Amino acid sequence: MADLVSGGAEEMVKYVIKTIKNGLEFGSTLQTGIETVKALSPLLEKIKSSTSNDLLDRPRDEDIVRLETKIRGIEELVEKSKKIKRTWWKSFSFPRYQAKLQEKDEDLQRHLAVHGQVMLLANVTEILNILKNMENLGQNQNRGLCGAPEAPHCMGMDDLLTQLKIEMMKKGVSVRVLTGLGGSGKTTLAKKLCSDPEIKGKFGTNIFFFTISKTPNWKIIAQTLFEYCGRRVPEFNNDEDAINRLRSLLSEVGTNPILLVLDDVWPGSESLVEKFKFDKMTDYKILVTSRDAFTRFGTPCKLDPLGHDHAVSLFRHFAQLNESSSYMPNENLLHEIVKGCKGSPLALEVIAGSLCQQPFEKWQSMMEFFQNESILESESYFPNNTPDTDLLYRLQESLDSLEDNNKKNCFIDIGLFPEDQRIPVTVLIDMWATLYNLDEDGKKAMAIVHDLNTRNLINVIATRKAATETDMYYNSRYVMMHDLLRDLAILQSKGKPFEQRKRLIIDLNGDDRPEWWIGSNQQGMISRVHSFVTGLFVKQKQLKVAARILSISTDETFSSDWCDMQPDEAKVLILNLRSDNYSLPDFTKKMSKLEVLIVTNYGFHCSELTKFELLGFLSNLKRIRLEKVSVPRLCILKNLQKLSLHMCNTKNAFESCSIQISDVMPNLVELSIDYCKDLIKMPDGFCNITKLKKLSITNCHNLSAMPQDIKNMVDLEVLRLCSCSDLKEMPESVAGLNKLRCLDISDCVSLPKLPDDIGHLQKLEKLSMKGCSELSVLPDSVIYFGNLNHEMHVICDEEGVALWEQYPNIPNIKIYKAEVEINLNWLHGTRS
């Protein structure tokens, strides 16, 4: 009995420990880790009070004290991590403290091997549920929420920063508004405040940073905050219910001071700010950034244009003027250009970026532009005169300086996506390969992205570091664009009538429809109810558009009531949604030239996607990317070459399909599955997709095994199985993949061994195996890598290096020790 109890409990607790590791690596914040450890304390108390301990032969108190000591040791390490560095997303992660945590875990496992009976007395299922929540936290890339942001580079804002800091450090409840023109540095200053050591010292992990959309959704705001705080996310009946529960949550965490930043609040949204005010708290600060002063909340802090000296310093920083510069402008030229930026931090950043490493002629041309400009010119270029018109006119010159037409087109394309949202680089690669005949691997697309980033026209975010510069795996790269630069991009497409534009952006909210949605001869009969009452069923007039790219954004109340559009020329369809249920538009089946479909759900829960069968009519469709949707049963897509699934539910697509997947997508060349938590195994017939060259299955924590007949994929060149924490077996037939160039099993923490004949992979160029903590020995066949005719790179951690050191005489193998990575950017959206 004792052996049975000890063995079963030990296995359960080993799984708990592994889940802790995964949670710390893929989980949310340091605060979540602390609260998770605290959540185990009541369970320990259950053990102490349980009479079942009398079943054990050894004294109960001694066992309990030992176990309690082990758990408290881990808790102390978490607390120590918090003190080491206060920047929340860098405070604690598995990679950073791997050695120390591993030592604690191993110590606990050794203890349980001897005293494992104790754990049977606790509700192990309850422990697993608590810890499993940590793993799920990383599944949602929350757009608009984060803890204390990184300190941005800013100049000339010290006085206002001090003023805000004094206000925030006072005890009490208050709302403070930071106002200024677009591009004046409001978000930058707010981030600078949040990253201040004294501010973080006071508010700790209770710094909440929201970017507010034009039409904010209270349910999503509340769900996001619940998840961020490590709480179970409830279902909300309506907005009022969401607000009430949000009040309760903030009151609960409000035992400590709270700083809430509402960034980029739209004019006229005072009521939204009011709903965040909770007077019952003792120390609660709200900082609002907006182009509106919101005077009802008191005298605002106004962000004025930078003074000339600070503007020059900021310009020098972004223009990278130093000894290595290819051209150093004379002081007069420099100062004239800075004057032309009129103290706008955004203009200084973008103009400086456009001149960085450029020859004299470019600088001279920019100076002449500013000297010759007039307000009449800017108003003629941007006829809808707004406070941002003058700034947009100046930014336009930087865009016009792009001599490569492809780069300018790519910049304009980035404006097709919703404001303040991350855009996956892989999406841009898919689009641009089709629209501009760029290479399929994305090398040319990434060159354009890097150039736009250098010019400060976009921001590039790398959520995880690539193992090598030549990896060409871009799933962890994202792009963001300042809202004014997005406005600039959109303006480039508005020069022609609606039906003639090459890029078309359509925003649909609730039941509101644009004027063109129904033809003029049907005005007055747009309501289905009216049609039903009158007995008239009106057929909508088809709207023919010339757009090559069609971007449609809908909110959470959209009813999927589509018009009968005729986008005959569209090659790319971008669908941005927020609703729990979403139907593909009926006109999809008529898009005969469509090659790329991108469906992204920015809501909180997976959206149920319907009418997927319409895609079966599209013979030219080559690339599909779906994010946060429940993928329905697949239809036959004979010419599909690439399928990307990110944070999707795949069960209906993979397990309920009556046709083998190899018959559904016989010409598939690349498959990427990322953060699909319901993926347990690959579908039947999967290995019969013989044309597949790239297979990436990453962060799928319930995937336990790969198909044994994987060797049938005779053309497979790249196999990535990164961070599949439950993967316990690598098929021996992997060794038969004769064209395999790259094998990545990084952070597969449960994988105990490599295939015995792995050394027979004579085309292998890269093997990445960092974080494979269960891997204790290499198969002897690795000596056959000595027969390679090329250099092979092995990327591993310290333990992996030790394994390869046992085979010191294998030529052509280069061992690289992976750098410790401390980066949780992937957990949340970040405003540019």
Tokens linked to 424: 């996956």
Q: What is the mean pLDDT of the chain?
A: 79
- Residue 183 and residue 348: Cα distance in Å, rounded? 10
- Ranking 1-15, 165-179, 572-586 by mean pLDDT, the lowest is 1-15
State how far the Cα of 137 lies from the Cα of 132, in Å rounded to an integer: 9
Least confident among 397-401, 697-701, 791-795: 397-401
Q: pLDDT value at position 253?
A: 84
Q: What is the rounded average pLDDT of the residues 668-683? A: 93
Which pLDDT value is given to residue 294?
Answer: 92
Which residue bears the tokens 């991009």? 489
Residue 797 pLDDT more than 50?
yes
pLDDT surpasses 80 at 151: no
Neighbouring CB atoms inside 10 A of 327's CB total 14
Which band of pLDDT confidence, cut at 50, 70 and 90, is reported for residue 35? very low
Sign of CA pseudo-dihedral 719, 723, 727, 729: positive
- Amino acid identity at 359: P
Beta carbons of 193 and 207 less than 8 angstroms apart: no
Confidence of residue 694 (pLDDT cuts 50, 70, 90): very high
pLDDT score recorded for residue 577:
93
**CA 296, CA 761: separation in Å to the nearest integer?**
70
Q: Scanning the structure block, which residue is given the tokens 């501009």?
A: 436
Q: What is the pLDDT of residue 270?
A: 87
Return the higher-pLDDT residue of 228 and 364: 364
Residue in the structure block whose two tokens are 């941007």: 382
User: From CA 321, how far away is CA 328, in angstroms rounded?
Assistant: 7
* Helix residue ranges, H only, 344-482: 345-355, 360-372, 375-381, 389-400, 405-414, 425-435, 443-454
Q: What is the pLDDT of residue 261?
A: 93
β pairing state of 258-263 and 284-290: parallel
Cα-only R_g, the chain: 29
What is the reported pTM? 0.78
580 or 147, higher pLDDT? 580
Question: How does residue 713 score in pLDDT terms, banded at 50, 70 and 90?
Answer: very high
Res 717: pLDDT: 96
Phi, psi (degrees; rounded to nearest 5) at 668: -65, 130
434 neighbors 622 (Cβ within 8 angstroms): yes
Which SS3 state, helix, strand or coil, does residue 716 take?
Answer: coil
User: Per residue in 552-562, pLDDT tens?
Assistant: 999 888 877 78
* Cα 234 → chain centroid: 23
Rounded to an integer, the average pLDDT of 367-374 is 78
pLDDT at 235: 86
97 secondary structure, DSSP code:
T
Rank 5-19, 242-256, 363-377, 707-721 by mean pLDDT and report only the highest: 707-721
- pLDDT value for 123: 40
Tokens coding 830: 């970040």
82 pLDDT higher than 50:
no
- Of 484, 466, 570, nearest to 823 by C-alpha is 466
pLDDT digits (tens, 9 = 90+) for 446-482: 999 999 999 999 999 887 665 444 567 888 899 999 9
* Region 298-317 average pLDDT: 92
Contact between 748 and 22 under an 8 Å Cβ cutoff? The reply is no
Buried b (16+ CB within 10 A) or exposed e, 222-240: bbbbbbbbbbebeebeeee
Looking at residue 653, what is its pLDDT? 85
298 vs 390, which has greater pLDDT? 298
Which residue, 121, 150, 139, 111, is CA-closest to 17? 111
Q: What is the pLDDT of residue 142?
A: 37
Distance between CA atoms of residues 37 and 35, nearest Å: 5
Q: What is the mean pLDDT of residues 157-169?
A: 92
For residues 106-120, give the mean pLDDT.
Answer: 45
Q: How confident is the model at residue 467, as a pLDDT?
A: 43
Q: Is the pLDDT of residue 353 over 50?
A: yes
pLDDT digits (tens, 9 = 90+) for 206-264: 898 988 877 777 888 888 888 888 788 888 888 889 888 988 888 888 788 999 999 99
pLDDT at residue 591 tops 90: yes
- Closest among 225, 720, 131, 803 to 464, alpha carbons compared: 720
Task: Please answer whether residues 435 and 571 qualify as being in contact, where contact means their C-beta atoms are separated by less than 8 angstroms.
Answer: yes
**Per-residue model confidence (pLDDT) at position 193:** 93
Percent of the chain with pLDDT over 90: 45
DSSP H stretches of helix in 528-646:
528-534
Distance, in Å, from the CA atom of 105 to the CA atom of 120, rounded to the nearest integer, reads 19
pLDDT value at residue 655: 77
pLDDT of the residue at 28: 38
Give the span between the Cα atoms of 411 and 624, in whole angstroms.
Answer: 22
Per-residue burial over 103-122, b = 16 or more CB atoms within 10 Å of its CB, e = otherwise: ebbeebeebbeebbbbbbbb
Please write the tens of the pLDDT for every residue from 249-304.
Answer: 888 887 889 999 999 998 888 888 888 887 778 899 999 999 999 999 999 999 99
Q: Read out DSSP for 337-368? A: HHHHTTT-HHHHHHHHHHHTT--HHHHHHHHH
Structure tokens at 516: 């063109």
The Cα–Cα gap between 239 and 219 comes to 6
**Confidence (pLDDT) at 65:** 59
